[in-house]
């Protein structure tokens, strides 16, 4: 039990530039390890270092890219092929800057409320004009 706590403390203190195991990355991204291995096959840009025994070690750059891939697939609704195309075209960062569906929905609600106010004002003006004419 005590060694588990010490290991957890060591992981918290791990340097930002330190390599991470697949288990650590899996936990950090909240993605199963088999999904990370699948993404390695689908996205050649993700290439963890493999040491003796085949153990994977992810560099910080790999982890950053995996975070982007996860965001595009899970949050933005891109397909594997769509993300592959973005990576090939170098357009990942511009895709990340686009508003999320939630942000778009909020904006649409605001716009709808504003339009309803404008319509109400125009209807009042039209009613006043009918009285004058």
CATH number at residue 84: 1.10.1660.10
User: Is residue 56 classed as helix, strand or coil in its secondary structure?
Assistant: strand
Number of domains in the chain: 2
Same domain for 87 and 77: yes
pLDDT tens digit sequence for 83-126: 888 888 876 665 566 555 555 666 666 777 777 887 888 888 88
Same domain for 68 and 37: yes
Same domain for 33 and 81: yes
Same domain for 129 and 82: no
pLDDT tens digit sequence for 5-40: 445 444 555 777 788 999 999 999 999 999 999 999
Is the entire prediction scored with pTM above 0.85? Answer: no
C-beta separation of 74 from 64 below 8 A? no
Same domain for 132 and 77: no
Domain span including residue 105: 99-133
Longest dimension (CA), the chain: 90
Closest by CA position to 23, among listed 33, 12, 34: 33
Same domain for 9 and 73: yes
């Amino acid at each position: 039990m005590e060694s588990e706590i010490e290991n957890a403390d060591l992981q918290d203190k791990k340097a930002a530039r330190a390599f991470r195991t697949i288990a650590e990355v899996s936990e950090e991204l909240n993605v199963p390890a088999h999904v990370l291995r699948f993404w390695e096959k689908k996205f050649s840009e993700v290439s963890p270092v493999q040491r003796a025994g085949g153990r994977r070690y992810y560099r910080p750059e790999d982890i950053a890219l995996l975070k982007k891939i996860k965001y595009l697939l899970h949050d933005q609704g891109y397909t594997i092929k769509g993300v592959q195309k973005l990576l090939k075209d170098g357009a990942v960062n511009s895709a990340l800057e686009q508003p999320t569906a939630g942000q778009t929905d909020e904006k649409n609600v605001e716009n709808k409320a504003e339009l309803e106010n404008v319509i109400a004002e125009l209807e009042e003006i039209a009613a006043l004009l009918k009285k004058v004419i």
